[in-house]
Every structure is written in C-alpha cells, then in structure tokens.
Amino acid sequence: MNDSANSREIGAAGEESAAQYLLIRGYEIITRNYGISIGEIDLIARSPEGELVFVEVKSVRTLVYGDPAWKISPKKRTTIARVAQAYLRDHELVDIPIRIDAITITPQKIEHYRNCV
C-alpha cells in the first residue's frame, strides 16, 4: 500500500470515529466530505443545542510527528471558513447559529476543540 492510500485509509477511519463520537453526544450528522472547488469540510453536523457545526477531522496512528491539531494550519482554517460560508450561501441558510470545530484522533484519545476557527 502506498503512502497516499494509507493516508486516505487513516483519514476515513478517523472521520468515522469522529462521526460516532458526535452521534454518541447527541449530534446529528448532516453530511460528510462536503467539497467545492476551494476545499472540503469533513463533517457537518447539528449540535444538541441546534448549532450548525462544521468539523475538521485530523487523525494519526502515532505521535512521532506531533499532535494532529498542529496539522490544521492557518491556511487550512481559512479554507474551512470559506467552505462553510459557501455551504451556508448555497443552502440559503441565514441567521442560524454556527461554529467551526476540530476533532483530533490519536491511538490514545479523541479531542474535540470547539470554535477553533
């Protein structure tokens, strides 16, 4: 298996773990891998409080190269915000509470960072 296939496998498993994490906590998953020409958002969910939540998921099998939260660069955060704005516009959603979260997954734990962008 090549590195890119391995990375996709890790990413898909991480996204599934993140979705299950959110479901257990009362979130409703609206869509997965929402993508447009400028980028993609891994998960879009509705929180138990009614917020529309855009979620970036980063997962790693080892911490040798650092915490996965470090992999969410300023450029990536900007892209996520722009894709979220496009989603709201394309779905004609106005005046609804939103937030952008990140979920990181390591072999030891799942971390949920709220309002990180």
Quick one: pLDDT at residue 1?
A: 46
* Domain containing residue 81: CATH number: 3.40.1350.10
pLDDT tens, residue order, the chain (117 aa): 455 556 677 768 889 999 999 999 999 999 999 999 999 999 999 999 999 999 999 888 766 666 777 778 889 889 999 999 999 999 999 999 999 999 999 888 899 999 987
Collapse the DSSP code of 17 into the 3-class scheme (helix H, G, I; strand E, B; otherwise coil) and give the result: helix
Quick one: pLDDT at residue 63?
A: 67
Q: Which domain holds residue 20?
A: 3-113
Backbone phi, then psi, for 36, in 5-degree steps?
A: -135, 180
Q: Provide CB contacts within 8 A for 87, sequence distance 6+.
A: 34, 41, 44, 54, 93
- Split into its structural domains, the chain has a count of 1
Quick one: pLDDT at residue 64?
A: 65
Residue 88 to residue 110: CA distance in whole angstroms: 28
| pTM: predicted TM-score of the whole model, two decimal places | 0.88
Quick one: pLDDT at residue 93?
A: 93
Q: Provide CB contacts within 8 A for 110, sequence distance 6+.
A: 17, 18, 21, 103, 104
Quick one: pLDDT at residue 21?
A: 97
Residue 12 to residue 110: CA distance in whole angstroms: 15
